[in-house]
Structure 1
Amino acid sequence: MNGPVVVGVDGSPFALAAVDVAAQEAQLRDAELRVVHAFLWPAMHVPSDSSPLGPPTGALHESIERIVTEALERARSRAAGLHVSHAVIAGETVAVLQAQSRTAQLIVVGHRGSGGLSELLLGSAAVHLSAHSHCPVMITRGRQDPVGPVLVAVDGSPRGQPAIAFAFLEASLRGTDLVALHAWSTWSDHGEHALGRRVDIVDLVGDAEHLRQQEERVLTEALAHHREQYPGVTVRPCLVRGRTRPTLIEASADAQLMVVGSRGHGGFTGLMLGSVSQAALHHAHCPVTVVRSGP
């Protein structure tokens, strides 16, 4: 694991909660914590030779100093001995954090914000950051100080492997179990275009138990390599016949972290930002980490 854990701050209670989580992550990973505040100039003419923060006694300078100082003090109080740095960068928040993700191992943000992070209300901006970040993005939400296992959505596709790897790492670092959930259904929407209706695969195959065994095999094979890498992690495979989104959200009620891929296939056909991943970001009962599958 290389690079810092980066947390975006804006002075809101949600950002401070993100600092708590980010400090824990940095401590678990023995990594630097970088506190980043992004800001935009007010809509007025600013001299080209002026300081990025304005005059030392200016309101913008004082506001930024307060936000950053509060976040730094919070981080240091949560994790003694943690190496904490900070950066104040002029620019649009998502663009700044996306640039930071090039050298970070994890980006942490609150699920709501104010000021510089006001756009991260789990709308298009959060989706954009999760979809385009160069490292995993953890969005803090749900219960305070959640306990329980790490929960990962498994679809059996190559795209889903980075999310599974991240979930195993988190379970190992946190010293907790890993619940690997694979939801499947006999209903397919692919027949709608040809037949004008959804198709129950059982009508075609005639053997629901055979389909269940196939899905069980998908789950087992998706986990095999990672089990070998993390023999100390207790894995609890969970095969559920049902709709993906409600199944995943329900399972998050007992988890301390949910991990999803940015795109999906098979049992999590809709697992791309804007569907299952976005549903998790909006409705999960615990923090959610979105892990990109690659370019």
Structure 2
Amino acid sequence: MNVSDGSPHVVVGVDGSPSSYAALRWAIRQARQTGATLDVVGVYDVPGATGRSAPPVDAAFDEEQARKALSEELGAVLSRSGDMPPMEQHVVRGSPAKVLIEASAGADLLVVGSRGRGGFSSLLLGSVSQQCAVHAACPVVIVRAAASAEAAGATDTP
């Protein structure tokens, strides 16, 4: 996924959530300031789609939907972002934490959003941002939607 041309490289994970929009905005600003290439990674998975009793899965449809969602999120954020850094887009099927951790290899920075579930549910469900913070091969920035919106003086999602 990563291009190793010697320039700084920022990877950002996106999933359409408010914190994902905030992470994408933050990553764009960071890439602009540092002259980095931005690698936007959308990850999709079909929970429970493995094993003998799993329902049939239309992988092409799932990928098409993920690409559409990534395109919509980028369009919403990019329309307000001004000058864009060099950018690549990837849609990958798999576990979000695993895909983003793999994408962090060779990157200078990994940016992810945090949905802020916290408490007992995060202990049961696990946290993509927590897994990335522990296992990524580069520094990780975790952006919360509320904090980002307050800092920017904005209250809308994109």
Instruction: Return the TM-score normalized by structure 2.
Output: 0.73
The higher radius of gyration belongs to 1
Q: 1:147 to 1:233 in 2, by over 3 A?
A: closer
From 215, 219, 226, give the equivalent of 2:66.
Answer: 215
Q: Which amino acid aligns with 2:138?
A: C
In the alignment, does 2:34 pair up with 1:183? no
From 8, 11, 14, give the equivalent of 1:151.
Answer: 11
CA distance in 1 between partners of 2:53 and 2:144 (Å): 31
CA distance in 1 between partners of 2:143 and 2:19 (Å): 10
Shift of residue 216, structure 1, vs aligned partner: 0.4
Q: Per chain length, whose mean CA-contact separation is higher, i.e. which structure has more relative contact order (CA < 8 Å, sep 6+)?
A: 2
Equivalent pair of 1:179/1:237 in contact (CA under 8 Å): yes
Equivalent pair of 2:10/2:39 in contact (CA under 8 Å): yes
CA distance in 2 between partners of 1:231 and 1:179 (Å): 16
CA distance in 2 between partners of 1:152 and 1:294 (Å): 18
Shift of residue 188, structure 1, vs aligned partner: 4.1
Q: Which amino acid aligns with 1:260?
A: V
Q: Which runs of 4+ in 1 moved over 2 A?
A: 186-189, 197-200, 225-228
Aligned ranges 1:167-182 → 2 under 5 Å: 167-182=27-42
Q: 1:279 to 1:210 in 2, by over 3 A?
A: same
Q: 1:199 to 1:239 in 2, by over 3 A?
A: farther
Shift of residue 277, structure 1, vs aligned partner: 0.9
Aligned ranges 1:188-267 → 2 under 5 Å: 188=48, 200=54, 203=56, 206-228=57-79, 229-263=81-115
Correspondence for 2:137? 285
Shift of residue 150, structure 1, vs aligned partner: 0.7
Q: CA RMSD in A?
A: 2.8
Instruction: Return the TM-score normalized by structure 1.
Output: 0.41
**Identity between Structure 1 and Structure 2 (%):** 37
CA distance in 2 between partners of 1:199 and 1:209 (Å): 20
